[in-house]
Structure 1
Amino acid sequence: MLTLTLTADLTGVTELRPDDTPESPFWYTFKVQCTSCREVHPNFVSVSRFEANEMSGSRGEANFVWKCKSCKRESSATIKAPPISYEQKSPPTRQKIIEFDCRGLEFTDFKPEGDWLATGIDSGSKFTAIDLTEGEWFDYDEKAGEEFVPINPRPMLQNLYDLLSIPPPLPQTVAARSEVNEEVVIRLKWGQTEYKGTLVSIDSYMNIQLSNAEEWIDQEKTSSLGQVLIRCNNVLWIQGANQNNGNGDTKMDG
């Protein structure tokens, strides 16, 4: 048996799982390796627990049947049970999502393609069609007062052999000590663009939610944006609107 595990940093949501039903099957996408000759198929393959394929020699059916182009050996894999929901924990833990009964092959690199589901912890809101191909996802929970609900499962190291996850990279620069509900200025990495507004929420990865936000380019106001969500990899620095510390750049160590 091979086990697909997931490590995810969840805030405000739990029960993260593939949307995997007979009406909406989830296709688990991997690279495949022959256990006989150790040849790795160059392309990704997809496996559904609702698809049945016949094995040669009247040996029954499997969800996935594959013949190695190198040694010509036929192998198979079958999913025995539905996926298990990933439960929110702090700090995040590695949890089993699904198991494969593999005969003559191994699955290696996993792609989180397909729709995922999650549930709001306090509100019970159902989030659907979650896309994790970029390694992170954000949304608003209207039942919880539009609070910031990030899912950040980067690195999304779903492994088959209990490999450890690697923490996501932090922004290169950031100014410290900005508090929630404080007026802040955020400088983006691109051009001379800044956002000014009220800090509503900020997570450990520097994903930022502002209200009453304004966009400024080259010290000139260009538009009023209202509620905005700024992803961490766009942020150069953040400082209080009333702070005056030169160019505002404070190096983030670590």
Structure 2
Amino acid sequence: MVNYLLMVVAELENLTNLEPEGGCDDPNFSYLFKLKCGRCGEVSQKETCLTLSETVALPVGKGTTHLIQKCKFCGRDGTVTMIAGRGKPLTGEASESGKHTPLMLFDCRGYEPMEYVFGSEWKAESIAGTKFHSIDLSGGEYVEYDEKGECPVMISNLRSKFDVVK
């Protein structure tokens, strides 16, 4: 069992508190990333989609997980379970310093998460207090104008990594 913490950072211009639309533990927020088999090293060709609200029963024992998948190359089964409660919004201060912020923790057995894909349904707040909803980051950036604060707002240079944690 290895836990991987998804860490994100972006350049925020006149924005703060970037996070999934329903908060970091939003049960309907989709996490998209590729998986690498822990046995043969094969990386999935398509992204896997996980949400907190969708679980499946474990084939052995009593419990649930968010994904059970068989490696297409070697046939080994693996699971990925999401663990809520570790994520927090990316603040303007963290963005300025280039510090990655935790978003979600994944308990991976037989797989390693790779290449997180930013999607839609994010929210942020301008430095003037204007709330921006349904932000789509799938294009790699977001540009808008804050009428209340009379300033442009932008999200760019999106980056992510998976840190191994205990």
Instruction: Report TM bin, short chain.
Output: 0.7 to 0.9
TM score, norm. by length of structure 2: 0.85
What residue number does 2:123 align with?
A: 117
What residue number does 1:140 align with?
A: 145
What residue number does 1:228 align with?
A: none
What residue number does 1:91 align with?
A: 97
Structure-to-structure mapping, 1:18-97, within 5 angstroms: 18-20=20-22, 21-22=26-27, 25-82=28-85, 83-89=87-93, 90-97=96-103
Between structure 1 and structure 2, the one with the greater Rg is 1
Runs of at least 4 residues off by over 6 Å? none
d(CA) in 1 for partners of 2:64, 2:76: 16
Aligned residue identity for 2:46:
N
d(CA) in 2 for partners of 1:95, 1:88: 11
Residue by residue over 1:213-246, the C-alpha shift from the partner in whole angstroms, topping out at 9 and shown as x without a partner, is xxxxxxxxxxxxxxxxxxxxxxxxxxxxxxxxxx
Per the TM alignment, residue 59 of structure 1 is displaced from its structure 2 partner at its CA by: 4.7
Q: Which shows bigger deviation, 53-62 or 35-44?
A: 53-62
Where is the strand percentage greater, Structure 1 or Structure 2?
A: 2
CA contact (8 A) 1:8 1:93 kept: no
Amino-acid identity (%): 31
Residue by residue over 1:188-225, the C-alpha shift from the partner in whole angstroms, topping out at 9 and shown as x without a partner, is xxxxxxxxxxxxxxxxxxxxxxxxxxxxxxxxxxxxxx
d(CA) in 1 for partners of 2:46, 2:37: 13
TM score, norm. by length of structure 1: 0.57
Per the TM alignment, residue 51 of structure 1 is displaced from its structure 2 partner at its CA by: 0.9
Gaps of 5+ in 1: 163-254
Which protein has greater RCO, CA pairs closer than 8 Å, 6+ apart? 2
d(CA) in 2 for partners of 1:81, 1:13: 25
d(CA) in 2 for partners of 1:102, 1:114: 24
d(CA) in 1 for partners of 2:98, 2:11: 6
RMSD: 1.8
Count of paired positions: 156
What residue number does 2:162 align with?
A: 160
